[in-house]
Amino acid sequence: EVQLAESGGGLVQPGGSLRLSCAASGFTFDSYWMSWVRQAPGKGLEWVANIKQDGSEKYYVDSVKGRFTISRDNAKNSLFLQMNSLRAEDRAVYYCARVIRSGYSTYYFDYWGQGTLVTVSS
């Protein structure tokens, strides 16, 4: 059974840093692209970042470029999101999601974790 479990959320002051983790199990982790998706309270879903199987390609939504870094440790079946210079508008539930990306034929998120809440407040 595919499972994704996020951790690392919490309360942080504006300008602070936080590192989120996502523990993956039930599938061959290093065969899949992975993503972070967030949802601010009462708002819609927002794609945040993608990372290729070997970590060689990373993509970000403009609002987090230069502040957030997505990474992975395939030996530990883990996905990470390092968040620096946090702002109030980064407050959200952060989900990790497995990506199905197959050449020119498809792209979608097929499995999701339950999310971890990040609160940015003084």
Partner 1 sequence: QTVVTQEPSFSVSPGGTVTLTCGLSSGSVSTSYYPSWYQQTPGQAPRTLIYSTNTRSSGVPDRFSGSILGNKAALTITGAQADDESDYYCVLYMGGGISMFGGGTKLTVL
Q: Which of 12, 29, 36, 50 binds partner 1 (CB under 8 A)?
A: 50
Are the CB atoms for 99 and 35 separated by under 8 Å?
yes
* C-alpha neighbours within 13 Å on the C-beta side of residue 101: 12
Please count the residues of this chain forming the interface with partner 1, following the rule CB under 8 A: 24
Q: Which of 23, 45, 53, 117 binds partner 1 (CB under 8 A)?
A: 45
Q: Which stretch binds partner 1 (CB under 8 A): 14-22, 23-31, 40-48, 77-85?
A: 40-48
CB neighbours (10 Å) of residue 68? 22
d(CA 61, CA 106): 20
Q: How far is the CB of 47 from partner 1 (least distance, A)?
A: 5
